[in-house]
Structure 1
């Protein structure tokens, strides 16, 4: 009888010990996920408005050039001109936004590492939990 009681007591203690070890690791795993509102960081990026203005100007110039040159072209010529002008606009976008996107990505990694975060998601994918890194990333990008 004592053996059964001791075995039962040992089983209960072992069960609590396993549960006690599992809970902190689950809490630790939850702490290692962060999220960033990337759109907010982008909108708060210094000089982003001037980059967007330059891209918009490039689009307007491309549209104007298309309107002027397409009148005398057939459908294939219009398609070729449209493709050429679209590539010019895309090139300008990459030129203006590429460095901004790179700096934002680098800031996210830096902030996450500094705060011990192993995984960072965009805030639009978060339903519950995680740590908001948005303001820290905005501060880092502004440096």
Structure 2
């Protein structure tokens, strides 16, 4: 697996873990009343059902394809640049002494490294742009999810909402109510 793919997967996994931790920690005070029952949501089910996360999942796939295409372009640029530099060096070496040829080889190596660094910087910049866009979309989806949970918690007079994974016993499952509220909002939004 290529370095950029490993980096992309590691960052995606890291963002997912951080998101779950932030969701659990941020939802503990969703409703103003502290006298009501505790509620919980199944985050996995929410993320598989809410349109924001479905769009985000599709966007991640699109951005991965975009990055893969750009990476292919960069690698083609790299191969072409190396070939041109090698051809140029081969022409320069004709009729030169061994010391001069060694200097040309050293310059070739330096030029190839410079070009590789330049192209790697372009690849990292593209990855950074894509990741920034994905982070913004993920943040928006998380904010909407948090608002939906808070609204349902207030409606059902739930004082605290936890992730299902954190609940050992009791509590009120408000997952489906959150999904239903999101579906209603989505339907209203599509009619406008």
Q: Same fold (TM over 0.5)?
A: yes
- Provide structure 2 residue ranges, at least 5 long, that are not aligned to the other structure: 1-33, 79-114, 185-192
1:87 alignment partner in structure 2: 128
Within the candidate set 104, 114, 124, 2:165 is matched to: 124
1 CA distance for matches of 2:161 and 2:52? 25
In the TM superposition, 1:1-143 aligns within 5 A as 32-46=37-51, 48-70=53-75, 72=78, 73-74=115-116, 76-143=117-184
2 CA distance for matches of 1:112 and 1:41? 15
Q: Offset at 1:90?
A: 1.4
Aligned length, in residue pairs = 114
TM-score, length basis structure 1? 0.66
Residues 30 and 130 of structure 1 are in contact (CA less than 8 Å); yes or no, is this contact kept in structure 2? no
Secondary structure in 2 matching 1:121: strand
2 CA distance for matches of 1:91 and 1:37? 27
- Provide structure 1 residue ranges, at least 5 long, that are not aligned to the other structure: 1-28
TM-score, length basis structure 2? 0.51
2:81 alignment partner in structure 1: none
1:70-103 per-residue CA deviation (whole Å, 9 max, x = no partner) reads: 45242x3354234212222213313433332222
Secondary structure in 2 matching 1:128: coil
